[in-house]
């Protein structure tokens, strides 16, 4: 190595040779430290957000013990707990908290980010105890002219007005616009509502649509291939022509996403205006012969079917991600490159190009 110097061959004193060897060793270690710094910087850049999130929410992993994660599973934001208990909407609950009307174990709180453990802590509003509501599930045949919201400044009719006998504070799972009709699920179970409506879970929703004109077979195939909208690429899972009615056509369309006015925008993209739209199924729950404007509780087997569909789709997506990640790692190993090798190489080159 360049720091191994023979004082007899150079004619230098042993003391000078040792000093030069130490200086060479210091230069070598400095270069090695710079290289290690570059590699560490790569991992910091790629994982910085995940680490910060883990530290903030107490998730298991870097910087957070596993016990903290277990404790956070039982915690819930105070405004969410109050909303689920039927006190008011989350925004109105924030006002109650900020105004000092809410107390936890006898002590008033004003922090909007407060989290509680419902099983261990007692919550009260103006001195009155609050208990979480039991989850309820109602099926409604929404008529046209009703809004899927819990409040409308203009005073227009709301979908929740169709279930005045339900004491719990329920909200609609997904939305049908004012001109649409059909199956609508009302519940206070936020977790199930999220799984049923989030595009990641892909729960199928079936619609009967009357469109102007006579869509050609190519138009139906284009719906299956997908069309580009302002918020991304969307496609139908299934399309079927049902019948003709004068200058219009009835179609059955199955979607697995929940974008705003998705059916109307897809058909408008192909030049066919939607004249009437009716949802007849959500997963394996069907509207059946339920009269317009009427409601009924969701049956136990229907509810279990919805949960199995949502959970099954989530597990399938997780398996796909695992298989895709394993295949990518195996491919890189066959090429003799460890995971992240290209990223480290690019960052090393960038580090070298930086001016000293």
Residues in the chain, overall count: 356
329 three-class SS: helix
Active site positions, annotated: 177
- Candidates 102, 188, 210, 180; CA nearest to 137 is 188
Helices (H) and strands (E) in the chain, counts: 10, 17
Going by C-beta distance under 8 Å and a sequence separation of 6 or more, which residues neighbour residue 335?
none
If you ran DSSP here, which 8-state letter would residue 147 be given?
B
Q: What is the spatial distance between Cα 67 and Cα 244, in angstroms, rounded to a whole number?
A: 62
187 three-class SS: strand
Give the C-alpha distances (Å, rounded to integers) separating 143 from 147, 157, 204. 10, 10, 21
Quickly list H helices, the chain. 7-10, 14-57, 66-73, 78-84, 90-98, 190-197, 217-225, 262-269, 300-334, 341-353
If you ran DSSP here, which 8-state letter would residue 33 be given?
H
Going by C-beta distance under 8 Å and a sequence separation of 6 or more, which residues neighbour residue 253?
206, 207, 209, 223, 236, 238, 239, 263
Q: Torsion angle of alpha carbons 76, 80, 84, 87, nearest 10°?
A: 130
Q: Which residue(s) pair with 297 in the sheet?
A: 138
Q: What is the spatial distance between Cα 318 and Cα 308, in angstroms, rounded to a whole number?
A: 15
Angle at 297 between CA 293 and CA 300, to 5 degrees: 150
């Amino acid at each position: 190595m360049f720091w191994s110097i023979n004082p007899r061959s150079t004619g230098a004193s042993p003391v000078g040779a040792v000093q030069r060897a130490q200086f060479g060793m210091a230069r070598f270690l400095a270069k090695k430290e710079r290289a290690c710094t570059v590699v560490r910087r790569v991992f910091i850049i790629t994982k910085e957000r995940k680490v910060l999130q883990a530290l903030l929410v107490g998730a298991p992993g870097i910087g957070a013990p596993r016990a903290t994660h277990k404790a956070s599973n039982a915690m819930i934001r105070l405004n969410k707990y109050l909303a689920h208990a039927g006190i008011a909407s989350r925004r109105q609950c924030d006002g109650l908290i900020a105004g000092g009307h809410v107390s936890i174990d006898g002590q008033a709180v004003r922090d909007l980010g407060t989290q509680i453990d419902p099983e261990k802590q007692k919550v009260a509003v103006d001195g009155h105890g609050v208990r979480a509501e039991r989850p309820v599930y109602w099926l409604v045949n929404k008529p046209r002219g009703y809004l899927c919201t819990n409040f409308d400044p203009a005073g227009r009719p709301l979908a929740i007005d169709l279930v005045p006998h339900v004491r719990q504070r329920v909200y609609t799972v997904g939305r049908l616009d004012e001109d649409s009709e059909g199956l609508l699920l009302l519940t206070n179970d936020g977790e199930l509502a999220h799984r049923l409506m989030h595009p990641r879970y892909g729960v199928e929703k079936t619609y009967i649509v009357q469109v102007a004109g006579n869509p050609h077979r190519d138009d139906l195939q284009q719906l299956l291939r997908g069309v580009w909208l302002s918020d991304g690429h969307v496609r139908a899972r299934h399309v079927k022509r049902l019948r003709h009615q004068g200058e219009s056509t009835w179609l059955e369309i199955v979607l697995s996403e929940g974008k705003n006015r998705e059916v109307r925008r897809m058909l408008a993209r192909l030049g066919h205006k939607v004249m009437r739209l009716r949802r007849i199924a959500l997963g394996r729950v069907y509207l059946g012969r339920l009269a317009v404007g009427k409601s009924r509780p969701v049956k136990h087997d229907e509810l279990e079917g919805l949960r199995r569909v949502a959970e099954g789709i989530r597990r399938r997506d997780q398996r796909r991600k695992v298989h895709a990640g394993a295949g990518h790692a195996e491919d890189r190993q066959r090429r003799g490159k460890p995971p992240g090798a290209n990223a480290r190489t690019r960052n090393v080159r960038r580090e070298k190009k930086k001016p000293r």
